[in-house]
Chains A and B, each alone.
Chain A
């Protein structure tokens, strides 16, 4: 397998603080790789080391197999789209894109041809002579990418470039970035704290916390099989309880939460858990089903394989397709549940008594 970027056991210390702690990963050619983590987790430092703006304390970075740690930033074929894009305000679009080519010593004809080509590819063929201030947010984004892509980089780094855009445009740009990556067929490394950006666009996502990678995997993998409590809590939303194991049989763990709710779940990591251990249980709002009227009454006889309980509606959080409902169990636990907007739940009111259920396999537990 050909790797465009290999990071080998890299560490960065600032005085006494360790920003990046022994991180290793490989990125196959032509894939979209995201590093997802909360602010301060070291993802920006990691990216700046790849670009050459920071020197690693130890470890190695290889691009297409060759170590680049000793190379200055301007000699690495890694280009970067900055958080605020860093388009040069005193140059127009054409000059911005031509800058890198001119640094490389390209001739006039070649520059004109390549700038024209790249503008065509990003769908802005007529904007060569526009000033940067005349562009919209989305256009600036595309010019910033074109400015890098015209140099045929081995790896393109993107440092939360969608952060400054408004919501609608951000949603649009997610799809556009993905299709640009296909178009250029270059390895993209995308840094973000926004899980939806990472999940939508990436082939692989690394979840980072306190300078270390918690888990690397496909978006589906991270979502369905989180390997640490942090990943389970950070990727997607979750209801979270801590409890004590009462019984383990056939891989099904029965545990009681602090307020006395009994839940059945399976171990997320495949580790065996023994009776009496402290565990954390995660259940996604979208895994929980609502049962109204007669259906709720029948839940008790629904049989095994399900967690089920009667609850009271506390409040509804309407947000279009992402609407949620907050319900309280009899023991006073609050659970967040997805509220599908297909019409069957329009009669729900605060204070209604309903039933909820979810499969045992949908509640994941981790050692506490």
Chain B
């Protein structure tokens, strides 16, 4: 293959990715950004300015919602990590080769149904007349129907359930690559279980932990259906705020500004997380 042919092959292979990035990611974001710096000054008359952003900071409801979304997302990420790490460790290090595939499949099953159906599944379980409430009444723990929906705990549970796989996969991949003799050496040199976990297993799995956390945090902060359906009107998720600006109030400019803010805010959070853990994007998410 000569040089020109190689170039052509490269361009052809690269084209779909390039078009996808350009048409579906870059162009819309530029559009959203341009929209966000427009202000409506009269009927059909627009001016460029930062009015939409200023409005966001002047109205506590808006930035409180964003902060709340961020805090809840970080909490979901931590809960997912705490639940996911032992599962991943079991799959990677303790389960026999044949059981691994089955366990992986079990983690994958929630993704086989759509977000919507999954959320309705939770609703069937947790609503006032739902299965859990009925069961508790049946065995006599509570006297009347209990509403489990529309509170923060339910939103967290639903989100953790949805994003668990995205934590487990990178963790299993890193832990799988860890030589068992490292753990044995940790014990052999006098380490207790806790020391081996803290000084050997977790530092080794750090790229996987951070990679999983970034993906989970991004998915959670940007999620819409689960918080709305399980959290109801009280959920106050920031994506709901964006939806309201665009659809209910038909204030596209403000909605666009909120979208840009969400992107900037989550990016900053990820950046801080990377700095605190001493990792880089190339050592975690982009690790091959």
Residues of B within 8 A of A53 (CB): 184, 187
User: Closest A-chain residue to B188, C-beta based?
Assistant: A80
Q: Does A299 contact B (CB under 8 A)?
A: no
Q: Does A121 contact B (CB under 8 A)?
A: no
Q: Does A103 contact B (CB under 8 A)?
A: yes
Q: Does B89 contact A (CB under 8 A)?
A: no
Q: Does B234 contact A (CB under 8 A)?
A: no
Residues of A within 8 A of B184 (CB): 51, 53, 73, 80, 82, 86
Q: Does B64 contact A (CB under 8 A)?
A: no
Q: Does B185 contact A (CB under 8 A)?
A: yes
In the assembled complex, the Cα of A147 lies from the Cα of B192 at a distance in Å of 17
Q: How far is the CB of B68 from chain A (nearest CB, A)?
A: 36
Q: Does B82 contact A (CB under 8 A)?
A: no
Given contacts A86-B179, A88-B200, A90-B204, contact A103 B185 (CB under 8 A): no
Residues of B within 8 A of A100 (CB): 189-191
Other A-B pairs beyond A52-B187, A88-B200, 13, CB < 8 Å: A74-B188, A74-B189, A79-B189, A80-B188, A83-B181, A86-B181, A86-B184, A88-B203, A90-B206, A91-B203, A99-B189, A99-B199, A103-B195
Residues of chain B touching chain A, judged by Cβ–Cβ distance below 8 Å, are 179, 181-182, 184-192, 195, 199-200, 203-204, 206
In the assembled complex, the Cα of A220 lies from the Cα of B195 at a distance in Å of 45
Select one of B182, B192, B195 contacting A88, CB under 8 A: B182
In the assembled complex, the Cα of A120 lies from the Cα of B206 at a distance in Å of 33
Q: Does A151 contact B (CB under 8 A)?
A: yes
User: Closest A-chain residue to B183, C-beta based?
Assistant: A86
Q: How far is the CB of A51 from chain B (nearest CB, A)?
A: 6
Select one of B181, B190, B199, B206 contacting A74, CB under 8 A: B190
Q: Does A148 contact B (CB under 8 A)?
A: yes
A-B contact count (CB 8 A): 61
Select one of B179, B188, B195 contacting A73, CB under 8 A: B188
User: Closest B-chain residue to A100, C-beta based?
Assistant: B189
Listed by A's residue number, 19 A-B pairs whose Cβ atoms lie within 8 Å are: A51-B184, A53-B187, A73-B187, A78-B188, A80-B188, A82-B181, A82-B184, A84-B181, A86-B182, A86-B184, A88-B182, A88-B186, A88-B200, A90-B204, A100-B191, A103-B189, A103-B191, A103-B195, A151-B189
Q: Does A89 contact B (CB under 8 A)?
A: yes
In the assembled complex, the Cα of A90 lies from the Cα of B192 at a distance in Å of 19
| B182 and A104 contact, CB distance less than 8 A | no
Residues of A within 8 A of B179 (CB): 84, 86
Q: Does A163 contact B (CB under 8 A)?
A: no
Q: How far is the CB of B193 from chain A (nearest CB, A)?
A: 9
Given contacts A89-B204, A90-B203, contact A74 B191 (CB under 8 A): yes
Residues of A within 8 A of B204 (CB): 88-90
Closest 5 CB pairs of A and B: A100-B189, A103-B190, A86-B185, A86-B181, A82-B181
Residues of A within 8 A of B188 (CB): 51-52, 73-74, 78-80
